[in-house]
Amino acid sequence: MKRWMVFVIATAAATAVACGGGGGGGGGDTTGKPDVIVGGDTSQDHYVPPDTKVEVYDIGPPPIDHGPGTDPGPVEDNGGVVDNGPGNDIQVPPGCGDQTCGAGENQCNCPQDCGACAGCCDAGQCVAGTDNAACGSGGAACQNCTAQSMTCQNQACLPSEIDEGSCKAYYLCANACPPLPQGQACVQECQSKLSPQGMQDVQNLQNCLQQNGCLDKPTDEEFAKCLEDYCIEPYFHCFSGNLYQSCSALLDCLVACPEDNPTTQNVNEQNECIGNCWSEATFDAQMDLQNLINCANQQCASQCANPQSAECNTCWNQVLGPGGACESYNDKCTEYGPEGCYYLLTCLNGCPQGDKQCQQNCVNQTSKNGLALYNAIYDCIMQACPVCNTQPDSPDCDTCFQAAQQQGGACAGALQTCMDDRPYGDKKCGEVFQCVMACPDQQCVQDCFLSGTKTANDLYDAMITCALDACPSCSTNPPGEDCNTCIDSALQDAAKCKTQYDACQADQAAQ
């Protein structure tokens, strides 16, 4: 009788997918919403993350701040330059300014008497400024490029792939200069390194900011809003890279960003990662994603007063999906794979909890139709369960979310349509049955089921659904002691499931 215990477990996997974890945390969901149950068997938990597609795009607008010293400001006054930082301020000797470079004075603490430092100041002493550990020019405090994962290029810390004559390199260089007027020579030195295209990019950005009044905004938030509204194209032309060549690659980077670590109070790891993703993407990739965000935000303005709400997620799904107002933008940002919706359900169930990169990899392998069918399950459930829009973490929402997908539930049809979206094998139901009975493990069971034709799968599902309905003890976790005996009996009982059993056995390959 031991074989029927294998058979019961096999059926749950075949009817649904491999289990991803129980309760509200199964399948790697990071959204805090109730999980999607993908089978009628309640003896085990079979879950997948609900709105993976939406979570992929839950990234907001591109951050204007790319980190200390990289924000655009007026060329003529080097807006946003930083001082030498805490603990690096240089003490001016009492005799400085008498036009004599006397005792205790040097190029760093008294450049008006001793001449400007051509390199940078390290511990109050002028050094060449060409070393990775002490990089800089114009008498600014030396920067440790190695600590920033950069290299010292022409006395400025730059990512190795940045063109030193680019607009981005200019801002990185200029923002490391001392405050004006002391840093004027340093800023001019940074400008002298600009290529013709780099100079044009700087001027285009500065002209746009000035013409639209962005530089006069009193707060960083207002400045960022102005830049995004009026100057995002020249901004991206300046702050773009070559690492992420497509919108899809940029999205992959963004969704892999870690959550902020609350123990590091002076650093927001998530924001830094997001900023790096955007700044290392090409201009075309940046614009494609920005256009998608703009379109979805415009179409879902009323639904997204709370960007984290289920209503907002549903709207994004609809406008980005087939026939949606933003479908064309979504297509530019998605590299569709060959797999169907059933694959996506199974793949997401296999992701470790919280592993967004694993979830994204599953999405990347799924076809456009498969993604649409998957999101249709979630949209159906949210419509069937209004409580989940207002109380997504409540027990009532969990109960409704699962009930909607049970056999006879409001969304059972959407779930079945998703599960039918896969390639089928050529084995008949009788062959699938024999294959399952010989299996030593769960993966073998899954492979047997997937090897069957659609008709074989339907017959097999009908047989097992009947047996589980006839044997309540099999629906507990773990199954009751009489589960195996009950199934044996039910499949041979004409008043219970023998008709379904005989139909499966009659579906055999031609001899």
Task: State the DSSP string of 210-258.
Answer: HHTTGGG-SSHHHHHHHHHHH-HHHHHHHS--SSB-SHHHHHHHHHTPP
Q: Which residues of 414-433 are buried (b: 16+ CB within 10 A; e: fewer)?
A: bbeebbebbeebebbbbbbb
| Rounded Cα–Cα distance for residues 220 and 116 (Å) | 33
Segment (H or E) for 413: helix 412-420
Contact call for residues 312 and 300 (beta carbons, < 8 A): yes
Average pLDDT across the chain, whole number:
77
Q: Is 55 helix (H, G, I), strand (E, B) or coil?
A: helix
Identify the residue whose tokens are 């040097």: 106
Name the range with the highest mean pLDDT among 88-92, 235-239, 319-323. 235-239
pLDDT of residue 490: 92
DSSP tag of 352? P
| Rounded Cα–Cα distance for residues 488 and 475 (Å) | 15
Q: Is 336 helix (H, G, I), strand (E, B) or coil?
A: coil
pLDDT of residue 33: 27
The answer for residues whose C-beta is within 8 angstroms of residue 85's C-beta and 6 or more apart is 141
| Rounded Cα–Cα distance for residues 349 and 351 (Å) | 6
pLDDT of residue 149: 62
pLDDT tens-digit readout, 315-334: 888 898 888 999 999 999 98
Convert 4-48 into a string of H (helix), E (strand) and C (coil).
HHHHHHHHHHHHCCCCCCCHHHHHHCCCCCCCEECCCCCCCCCEE
Among 331, 175, 140, smallest CA distance to 248 is for 331
pLDDT of residue 511: 65
pLDDT of residue 207: 94
Mean pLDDT, residues 386-412 taken together: 87
pLDDT tens-digit readout, 9-46: 233 333 322 222 222 223 333 222 222 322 223 222 23
Beta-bridged to residue 344, according to DSSP, are none
Mean pLDDT, residues 367-371 taken together: 90
Among 251, 345, 189, smallest CA distance to 58 is for 251
Q: Does residue 77 carry a pLDDT above 50?
A: no
Q: Does residue 210 carry a pLDDT above 90?
A: yes
The answer for residues whose C-beta is within 8 angstroms of residue 308's C-beta and 6 or more apart is none
Q: Is 262 helix (H, G, I), strand (E, B) or coil?
A: coil
Among 115, 148, 119, smallest CA distance to 135 is for 119
pLDDT of residue 92: 62
Among 132, 108, 112, smallest CA distance to 122 is for 108
Half-sphere exposure of 444 (CA within 13 A, CB side): 11
The answer for residues whose C-beta is within 8 angstroms of residue 47's C-beta and 6 or more apart is 19, 20, 21, 22, 26, 27, 29, 35, 36, 37, 38, 349
Report the relative pairing of strands 151-153 and 134-135 from DSSP bridges.
Answer: unpaired
Of the two residues 285 and 6, the one the predictor is more confident about is: 285
- Amino acid identity of residue 353, one-letter, is Q
Q: Does residue 279 carry a pLDDT above 70?
A: yes
pLDDT tens-digit readout, 37-74: 222 232 222 333 333 333 333 343 344 443 333 344 43
Q: Does residue 79 carry a pLDDT above 90?
A: no
Mean pLDDT, residues 92-108 taken together: 82
- Amino acid identity of residue 23, one-letter, is G
Q: Tell me whether the omega of the peptide bond preceding residue 478 falls within 30 degrees of 0, making it cis.
A: yes
- Amino acid identity of residue 84, one-letter, is N
Token pair belonging to 83:
């001082």
DSSP tag of 151? E
The answer for residues whose C-beta is within 8 angstroms of residue 146's C-beta and 6 or more apart is 132, 133
Task: State the DSSP string of 96-147.
Answer: TTSSS--TT--TTT-HHHH---SSEEETTEEE-SEETTEE--TTPBPB-TGG
